[in-house]
Amino acid sequence: MNAVILEKEKVSITEAAPGKIGAEVRGWDVTTFTKDSPEMEMLRQLIYRNKVVVIRGQYDITEQEQVNFANAVGRPQVYFQANYHHPDYPEIFVSNNLNEDGQKFGVSGTGRYWHTDCAFEKHPLSFTSVRPIFFPKSARETSYIDMARVYRELPDDLRRYVDGAMAMQEAWPRYKVQACDIDRSIEEIIEGFKTECPPIAHPAVIQHPVTGEKILYISSGFTSGLVGLSHEENERVMKALFDFVEQPKYVHTHFWEDGDLIIWDNRPLIHKGSKAKPGEKSRMYRIGIYDDLPFYVGIDQ
C-alpha cells in the first residue's frame, strides 16, 4: 500500500499495491464537495486506478447530502424499477429488510450473488456508491473480484472461448416478485419483465475507456452464456469460466466500518453482498453514478 499523507488538510490517501485493488481515503467531508471541487477529479482517478475506494468517516450524512455527492461525482442513475426507490429520493436505491411503519421500504436481499450492476442494460452503470444505514451484526462485508486480473491470468483453453465472443446478460432470473404480481402466473411475470428489460449481448471481453485494461465481462449472476455455443457447450464452458473466476485467491473483501462510503467502478469489478441472518437489521443506500464515458471502448456513449 502507498500512503500519501497531505498534512495540511489532514487528508490521507492509501492506494492499492500494484496488481491489487482498493484505496482508502480519510479526512474528506463529502458533504462539502461540488462538481468543481478539486477532490472530484482526484476521486475519479482513484476509482479508475484502484477500482474501489472507501471514504471513511462519513457519519450522519443525510439522503440529500448523499444525492448531492453523487451529483458532484457524475450523473446519478434513477433505477428503472421504482420499487427499489427511496420514497423521497428516487436516485437512492434502497436495499433493506426493515419496513417503515408497516410500509414497504425498498427491497430486501439484493445482490447476494456475483454480478456487476446493470450489466443487462444497453448502457451499464459506470460507478456504484453505497452507504450502509444499518449493519447486520453477522455480515458486514462486500466482496469484489478484479476481472482485469482474472482475464490476464485466464488459461488459453478458456480464453479462446471469450476472445471476440459476445455474452448474453439477463436480469429476469433475479427479478423480485412485487405486490402487483399477485394473481399473475410465473410465465406472465417473466415474460412481462423480459419485455421491460430484454436480454442483451455485450462483448465477453471489454476494454476500459480510461485504463485501457482488458476485462472479462461476465458474472454468474447475470451472464447466461456465450452467443453461438450450444446449450450443452454453454453449460460446460460457463461452469469452467465461473469456477476459474470465483476462486478464493481473487476475492477482495471489504469489511464495513461505521461512517464508510464506498464507490467502485463496475467495468472491472464483479461484486457480491453478504447475507444477514433472519431478524437482523440491514439497510444500505446505493446511488448509481454515470461518469459519462463510454462503458467500454467501441460502445456508443
Residues within the interface to Fe ion (CB under 5 A): 111, 117
Q: How far is the CB of 296 from Fe ion (least distance, A)?
A: 18
Q: Which is nearer to Fe ion, 26 or 140 (CB)?
A: 140
Q: Which is nearer to Fe ion, 74 or 288 (CB)?
A: 288
Q: Residue 187: helix, strand or coil by DSSP? A: helix
Q: Which is nearer to Fe ion, 42 or 139 (CB)?
A: 139
Cβ neighbors of 153 (< 8 A, separation 6 or more) are none
Residue with cell 417503515: 100
Q: Are strands 52-55 and 23-26 parallel, antiparallel or unpaired?
A: parallel
3-state helix, strand, coil in the chain (%, to 5): 25, 30, 45
| Distance, CA of 291 to chain centre | 14
Burial class (CB in 10 A: 0-12, 13-18, 19+), 54: buried
Q: How far is the CB of 221 from Fe ion (least distance, A)?
A: 8
Q: Which is nearer to Fe ion, 93 or 151 (CB)?
A: 93
Q: How far is the CB of 142 from Fe ion (least distance, A)?
A: 9
Question: What cell numbers appear for 46 in the block?
Answer: 482513484
The residue sitting closest to Fe ion, measured at its beta carbon, is: 111
| Distance, CA of 298 to chain centre | 21
Q: How far is the CB of 271 from Fe ion (least distance, A)?
A: 6
Contact 287, 70 (CB under 8 A): yes
Looking at residue 38, its amino acid is: P
Q: How far is the CB of 177 from Fe ion (least distance, A)?
A: 19
Q: How far is the CB of 286 from Fe ion (least distance, A)?
A: 7
Q: How far is the CB of 93 from Fe ion (least distance, A)?
A: 9
Cβ neighbors of 180 (< 8 A, separation 6 or more) are none
Q: Which is nearer to Fe ion, 57 or 250 (CB)?
A: 250
Alpha carbons 119 and 268: distance in angstroms, whole number: 12
Q: Which is nearer to Fe ion, 111 or 268 (CB)?
A: 111
Q: Which is nearer to Fe ion, 117 or 170 (CB)?
A: 117
Name the nearest CA neighbour of 224 among 170, 290, 291.
170
